[in-house]
Amino acid sequence: MTAQNELAVIRGHQELYERTWHLFQAAKTEISCAANDLYTWVHLRADTADRPPVPQDTPPGFMIRKLYRPGVLLDPVGTRHVRLAFQHGAQVRITPDEINETIIIDRRVVIMAGGVAHGPRSFSVVWAPDVVTAVASLFDAAWRAATELDVYDRELTELRVLAPRILELLGSGCKDETAARTLSLSVRTYRRRVAELMSALGATSRFQAGVRARELGLV
């Protein structure tokens, strides 16, 4: 049976903040976090709703792990934020796989974000030990398979300067021919960039890339 204190479903960021903020403050040993973009968990604090949160220095004996999609590194804001977190002691890794947005606190409670379609986003907070353990082990597996931040960061250095313009052109619906001319690139090179972009977004079709780009607020 489902005890009331083992699972709670929350709708909207406001309520999420009100009901889970104390969990973050009470964290003693570890916060692990998987996110597709920067903005899912940002609204946790109402007073920082409009900006990415400012990371605190990590106290000794405390571990923060952040697992992101490569896409966040396409966004200058995202890049800055991730680097900042890294400098403040958080471990940051990048995975090309699909990851559901998840937070694990002290291996005792997990928060998982639901879909965003049709209405406000929902979140499930789970205390049930079996679930927490299983989710944590899945997270660990994904974490091991992921690559360190700096590797990806170096790879994307050049792409990052072109990405905004490419995304804008793609988003405007114009075709490769036109876009390449606009950027003074050959069609070949333009498509190379698009391919890199799609790989960074973890997309296998342009439609999917469009969705992901919009999710990340890049268009």
Partner DNA sequence: CCCGCCGTGGCAGCAAGTTGCCAACCTTTG
Partner DNA sequence: CAAAGGTTGGCAACTTGCTGCCACGGCGGG
Name the site residues for a copy of itself (rule: CB under 8 A): 11-12, 49-51, 75-77, 116-120, 170-175, 203-215, 217-219
Instruction: Decide: is 205 part of the binding site for DNA (CB under 7 A).
Output: yes
> Given the structure tokens 């997990």, which residue do they identify?
110
Q: What x/- string results for residues 111 through 150 when contact with DNA is judged by CB under 7 A?
A: ----------------------------------------
Binding-residue pattern over the window 52 to 91 for DNA, x denoting contact by CB under 7 A: ----------------------------------------
Assess 206 for contact with DNA (CB under 7 A).
yes
For residue 76, the minimal CB distance to a copy of itself (Å) is 8
- Contact in structure between 128 and 6 (CB atoms under 8 Å): yes
* Nearer residue to DNA within complex by CB, 26 or 161: 161
Contact 72, 202 (CB under 8 A): no
| DSSP class per residue in 38-97 | SSTTGGGSGGGTTSPPPPPPPPTT-EEEEEE-GGGGGSHHHHHHHHHHHHTT-EEEE--S
Which span (22-30, 113-121, 140-148, 185-193) binds DNA, by CB under 7 A?
185-193
> E strand or H helix at 103, and its extent?
strand 102-105
